[in-house]
Amino acid sequence: MNNSNKTFKMLISKNVVATRIIKNSGWIVSDKLFTLVIGVFVTALIARYFGPEQYGQFNYTLAFVSLFTAISTLGLETLTVKSIIDKRVNEGVILFTSLLLRVIGGIVLTIMATGIIRIIEPEDKNLHLLVLVMSFTISVKSVEVIEYWIQANQKAKISSIIRMSVYVIMAVLKILLVVKEGTLLQFALIYTLDAFLISVALLIAYFKVREDKSLWTFSFSYAKGILTQSWYLILSGLMITLYMRIDQVMLGTMMPTKTEVGIYSAAVQISEMWYFVPMAIITSFKPIIMNNKINNEENYLNSMQILYTIIAWTGIGFGIAILILSKIIVRVLYGVEYIEAASILSISVFAGTFALLGSARSVWLISEGLQKYTLIYTLVGLILNVILNYFLIPQMGAYGAAIATLAAQIFANVFVLYFFSKTKISTYMILKAFSIPNLIESIRMIRKL
């Protein structure tokens, strides 16, 4: 075992690419692990304080606003990272144009969100106010374009330090909220303040450490070009958010109270705790895979297969652990009032694995210029999820919603693209990722990265 560890360390130290991936992933994982440790305690405290009904109302609002937030990103993340790496357009033009597009979109979507909620829930004035406050984050989060620059340059340390610092401040405010017996509206204000502080810090950090001093100017031609490419991603991003959040929205509208939403949300938040690990890996692999696509096709395919394999087996390991410990985890974190969340958790944790495989595949689709297929498989997944929710929620409540999401994630992220000749290979690669021989082969292939 010692010899194996020494060999692995020597391999990593001699492999520049692997070192960059591990370093960048390390910062992202550290950030998420730090927030997880604090977040587990704070989230449990908040959920216990408000109870399933009010906690459900908050998460219903969050799910509703998230539908509009998904559109506000305009599908720019991966395309902006690619533009910065390609260096065909000045960095200042890329970032400022992306920022302005997102600000304009955010204002329009905030107006839409506050108007639509009044139609859906005409009598709930408190809900109208919550949506108004939380939808302000749509415009505030426009500054996340700085994160695209961070991804392209693998400077995760900057973002991690900012997010960890702000998270501590927000955790203290949430604890004070409970101690001072605050309201749900005050909790929503903390949510908006979180986004504001991160945005300000990102802007300050960027202008302090950037090497490219090009002016921030708007380019109509770049905006037109990027939006022409991104409309598939805008729609697919909305579809992804819809079938990740539609469960909570449908639970909130189809059930007589928001209690089921509260219990379901508690389960989902636990099942999503491990997402930071695979998402950190995907984020760090993204520029490497895109560079390999340009320079070496074999390395490109190998690095893509390795990414699928890491995501698949990380999901399997976490899923088994949660399956065994679900009741204990729910009881310790949320108390007996939320114990029904344990059975939901046992299902939703595996849905996350397939959702993350879909996120990994989006890197491949962008690299191949096949992003339009993202819309196809996400649309199929959304339709299947809505249909299953419609029939299962009235009969099984939150448990039915969890089953619907799992079925939709598997079908959409594994099998849909098998039926198209240009994307069939991605289905083979994802299925291959679950095999033990491939796991061993992927460990060997990392030497060729």
- Give the model confidence (pLDDT) of 98-118 as tens digits: 888 888 888 888 898 999 999
pLDDT of residue 440: 72
How much is the average pLDDT of 140-158? 75
Please count the structural domains in the chain: 1
Structure tokens, 186? 């005050």
Helix, strand, coil % over all residues of the chain, rounded to 5: 90, 0, 10
Q: Please give the single-letter amino acid code of residue 67.
A: L
How much is the average pLDDT of 21-47? 71
Residue 411: is its pLDDT beyond 70? yes
- Give the model confidence (pLDDT) of 209-232 as tens digits: 777 677 788 888 777 777 777 776
Structure tokens, 71? 């559109």
Question: Model-level pTM?
Answer: 0.72
Q: Please indicate whether residue 337 or residue 13 has the higher confidence score (pLDDT).
A: 337
Q: Report how far Cα 8 is from the mean position of its chain's Cα atoms.
A: 31
pLDDT of residue 391: 94
Q: Please provide the DSSP assignment of 406-429 as one string.
A: HHHHHIIIIIGGGGSTTTHHHHHH
Alpha-carbon span 185 to 189, nearest angstrom: 6
Q: Please provide the DSSP assignment of 265-276 as one string.
A: HHHHHHHTGGGH
Confidence bin at 179 (pLDDT 50/70/90):
very high
Confidence bin at 1 (pLDDT 50/70/90):
very low
pLDDT of residue 78: 65
Q: Please indicate whether residue 301 or residue 276 has the higher confidence score (pLDDT).
A: 301
Q: Which residue segment(s) compose the domain that 30 sits in?
A: 2-448
Give ∠ CA 362-364-365 in degrees, rounded to 5: 65
pLDDT of residue 225: 77
